[in-house]
Each structure stands twice: as structure tokens, then as C-alpha cells.
Amino acid sequence: MTDAGAPPPDQADQGGFDLGGSDAAKPYRVLARKYRPSSFEDLIGQEAMVRTVSNAFETGRIPQAWILTGVRGVGKTTTARILARALNYEKPDGSVKGPTIHMPDLGVHCRAIMESRHMDVLEMDAASHTGVDDVRQINDSVRYAPASARYKVYIIDEVHMLSTAAFNAFLKTLEEPPEHAKFVFATTEIRKVPVTVLSRCQRFDLRRVEADVLMGHLSNIAKKEGVEVEGEALGIIARAAEGSVRDSLSLFDQAIAHAAGLVKADAVRQMLGLADRTRVIDLFDSLARGDIASAFREFREQYDVGADPIVVLSDLAEFVNFVTRVKVVPATADNVAFGETERVRAREFAAKLSMRVLSRMWQMLLKGIAEVQAATRPAAAAEMVLVRIAYVADLPTPDEAIRMLEQNGGASPVVASSAAPSRAAPGPSASAMPSAPVRMPSAPRAGAEASARPHAVVAPGPQSAPTLRITSFPQLIALAGEKRDLLTKGALEADMRLVRIEDGKLEIALEPNASRGLVTDLSRKLEQWTGRRWTVVVSNEAGLPTIRSQNLAEKSARERAAEADPRVQEVLARFPGTRIIEVRRLAAEPPESDIIGEDPMEISDNDDD
């Protein structure tokens, strides 16, 4: 079947051809079909494949079979039809004698091939023709010469859907086909295709199209369609398509209908159910600063206007990924597929935030999205995810703590941590704090000293800086715990022996393995934490044992007391191999204890036998 007598068609977009009749006589065609490529020059984002095919055609090294793989919408079936057209390209005057990739005009067979109605180009959908009988029909017909074209071309879409028997029936024909037959396979699941088939085909992996390339493609189509569209809207569509040209055109078609005029970014976000990008960045900023109240308020405002909690967290994760990429490769911020606000603020965050903060936020978001999807109350679950992210904003990771310990020869180094996140709503001053007393966790016992909690004393005046009074060493350790400075807390417990302490002055003795900069760092941090200048002095006196030594001594004494108890000795004798693992004092002593006399203790045992 040929089209030699057909009138010259009107050229359409991208250098392609309008294969239909007049616009007034045909119904509306969606953009994905109207702007379908008809030559290799029209394909976008597949330069490697086009170059390989071009060289093969020019040198005459044309294989008997190709297999095209890639995600949906990147052009597998379209490329197969273009290959069929190139193999059979022939001008009415007979000037073209063989296969060529240069097809400036419609040839004798081009219209029928691109419209899937040429009798020598057979297209089969393997999803609905999976059996061995379908393949047997191909094996029977492949022996006959083409009716009018140069080659018989068999295009099999979704070839991975063929059954095992059908694949086996194909092997011999695929390995030694007649000279006039060519095969083009397309699949999205290349791993499901047997290796015996793959080894007989030349494979092309069609890559995802970059977002900026898709933006340029959509912009050209918008001009040809006479549609006004914002650049940011094109970027949103390009990112939502995830590298699929067909998806981008379908979304653009939908956006044009949704806008009914100028296609704006806000309208596209509303159409796709996306959160406002600027507000997502503001939410990220609140989490990075540890401002939970501001993060809650921003999330609730987005939720109230209809944003899906899962979409908000997904957009947040996408921005975390973008900031991380900008931090690793700064040139990423030049990608025009992202808005100007995103690029500018991503550069700022990349300069301020460490890689550990970004990677930890990414991991928590991935886990949190799964939790929100499974939750009965997604909004509440999303808020709890935000709480976790803000709470750990300034904590060191375990591997960082171990690495810093190793670098200091086993000592507990004191390093300046990030600023503690603000737990209150932002006020007129960045340093504002609640005037209520600060609650501190109870500290380990240190000799006869009481473990009283420190309290905040705020001087009069709305702009006055708060001061915190510390009068005991356990209070100081508790303060380090409240500030979540675990390294400083560990150094106070293990590397310092208290000589004397009063508010504003600390006199200590250091263990031999203490860090050299411990005193300077501790003095600076105490000034930041308490709002007053502290003097930290290293004394020549021996001082009290370290808190860790006191705890170990107390634990050893409890164990010795437990071992001396007759009933414990009787248990140890009756069960050979039993040993005392831990002795803990009960919170409330029962009136008549039958455990260990007057000092009830909890004993854990482990039978080594």
C-alpha cells in the first residue's frame, strides 16, 4: 500500500508532518499525538541512540533486530516507527536507493507507516497477544517477501509480556531471519526479557528527558499553539512528568484546559494537588532552625487550604534533595527547571546546613512519608514527623561522635554544637525566652551534693537577656543534657573532678586524658547557656572523684552487697553458672520485702549453661 499520489502534506511542529486532513474536518487531537516525532531530528533527549543508528545506517551495519527499553513515554514505539520509516524510505522519483536517516520530506511509504496501516510494517501488542500461536503466525509470514516496501518490519510492543513458550518459538527466526525482515521490540521491563532474546538484539536504553529539555520542548509547543504560559508553570509540569515526554504533553494539555487562558504556576499546582513551593521552603526553614511552633503553623495553613500531608512531606523531601545536590554540585542551582526563589534559597541553605543535617532530614522524611500513608490521621502523623525533624536538628550523628572520640585519643572532646532549636513561637527578639522556670532532667548523684534543678531568673524589661543560676555540679551536668550537648555532658562526667563550684565560677581538676581545649570551650558554652560570664579554673587539688567513677563505685558496692546476701548466695549455689548482671534499687520499697532483707534490690541473672 503506497501513498505516491497523495498531495504534499502540511508540515507540522518540530519538523514533523501533519498526517491528517484539514483541521476543520477532524476532531481535536491531544498534544501527545499531534506533536509525535516523525523523524530522528524530532526526537529529544536521545542523542546517543540517534548517533548510533545514524552511523549504522551510513556504514550499512544494520542489525536484524533492535530492542528499545525505557520508562513510559520516552518514545519507544515512536522510535520503532521512525526506524521502520527509515528502513523503507523511498522518494517517488526513486532518488533514494537504500535505508537512510535523512528524511526531509514524506516518502512513498511514510504516511502509511506513521499511521500504522502499512501492510509490510506489522505492529503487535504483546500484552494482548502473549501466546505461542501469535508468534507462530509471525514465523509463517516472515518467509514471504514484502509487498511494496524494502523491508518487512515487525514492531512488538511490551515484548516482555510474551510467554516463555512464545519466546522460545521466536528464537530461531530472530537469530536467522530472512534478509527482507527486521524486528523492533519495545519494553519497559527489560529484566523480564530472556537473555537468549537480548543476545540476538541490538539494545538501546532510551533515557529520561531532562527537565530543562522538556521545558524548552513545551515552550516551543506553546508558541505554536498560541498559548501563554509562565516559565515556572512549565518547570512544574516538567518535574511532574519525571522525564516522560508523553506525560509532560498530557499534563500540559490538561493545564491549558484548566487555565482557560494564561497558564499560571499556581493553577498548575492546584491542578496537580501540589503545595505552594515558597511555603514548602518556609517550612523547611522552620525545621532547619528547630522552630517547631512556626513549622506547625506553616503546615496547618497549608493543610487548611487543601494541601495533602503526604504531598507536603514529599515536596519537602524533594527540596531537601535539591539543597543536598546544590551543596555537592553548586552548578545544580543554575537549572532553570527550578524557580528563582528555589535556586536562591537553596544556595543559602546549602551554605549554612551541614551534610549530616540534610541526610538525616532526608532519612526521617522517607520514613515519615510511609508512616503518614499508613496512618488513620495523616495530618497528625505528619506533625509528629515535623516534631522529630526539628528536635534532632542540632544533634550529632553517632558516627560523628565516635569519630571525634577516636581523633582525641579516646577522650571526650567538647565541640561547639549548632544552636539549640527554639521551642516557642517567634517573638520580637530572636533571643527571647519564656519567663517560666527552665525544667532540667535530674543529674547523676555526686557524693553528698543535692541534685537540685537550676532555675531561670529573668531581669525586668522586655529586651533583657535571661540569666541562669548554677550552684551545683549536678545542675551543670543537667544543663548540658538540657542543651543536648552530649559531648560536653560526657566530658563533665568522665574528665572533670569537682573542686568547688559557685554561681559564675567553677574550679575543677582534669583527668589525664581530658581534651586540651576543654576548659576554654566549657567557659564559652556556660556563658552562652547562662547569660553571664563564667570563670573556669584548673586546680592543683585532687578534687572529688569524677561522676562516672562515683557511679561505678556505687554500682560495685551494690553488687558486692548483693553477693554477700545469704539468699543470693543460695541462688548462685543452686544454679551453677549464674552470675549477677545488674543490681538496681527499687523506686518504692514494699512494706514487707522478701527479696534482700531491708534493702530490696532487683537482681538479673544469666545462666551461662
Q: Do 422 and 297 share a structural domain?
A: no
* Angle between helix 245-259 and 211-225 (nearest 10): 50
Cα 556 to the center of its chain, rounded Å: 49
**Pick from 247, 272, 297: which residue ends a domain?**
272
| CATH code of the domain containing 55 | 3.40.50.300
Could you tell me if 481 and 440 are in contact, meaning their C-beta atoms sit under 8 angstroms apart? yes
The contacts of residue 331 (CB under 8 Å, 6+ apart) are none
Q: What is the pLDDT of residue 537?
A: 81
Could you tell me if 438 and 466 are in contact, meaning their C-beta atoms sit under 8 angstroms apart? no
The answer to whether residue 436 sits within a structural domain is: no
The answer to whether residue 323 sits within a structural domain is: yes
Q: What is the pLDDT of residue 274?
A: 63
Q: What is the pLDDT of residue 501?
A: 84
The structural domain count of the chain equals 5
Q: What is the pLDDT of residue 181?
A: 92
CA pair distance 111, 85, nearest whole angstrom: 9
Q: What is the pLDDT of residue 25?
A: 53
Instruction: Take residue 459 and report the three cell numbers written for it.
Output: 531581669
CB-neighbour burial class of residue 55 (10 A; exposed 0-12, middle 13-18, buried 19+): exposed
Q: Do 141 and 90 share a structural domain?
A: yes
Which pTM was predicted? 0.54
The answer to whether residue 370 sits within a structural domain is: yes
Query: pLDDT tens, 242-298?
Result: 888 898 899 898 888 888 778 888 888 778 766 567 788 888 988 888 888 888 888
Cα 231 to the center of its chain, rounded Å: 25
The answer to whether residue 520 sits within a structural domain is: yes
471: Cα within 13 Å, side-chain hemisphere: 9
Query: pLDDT tens, 398-446?
Result: 666 666 666 655 444 444 343 344 444 343 333 333 333 333 333 333 3
The answer to whether residue 433 sits within a structural domain is: no
Q: Do 539 and 601 share a structural domain?
A: no
- Tell me which residue range forms the domain holding 48: 13-205
Q: Do 229 and 97 share a structural domain?
A: no
Low-confidence stretches of the chain (pLDDT beneath 50):
1-24, 410-465, 590-609
Q: What is the pLDDT of residue 427?
A: 39
* Number of C-beta neighbours around residue 432 at 10 A: 16
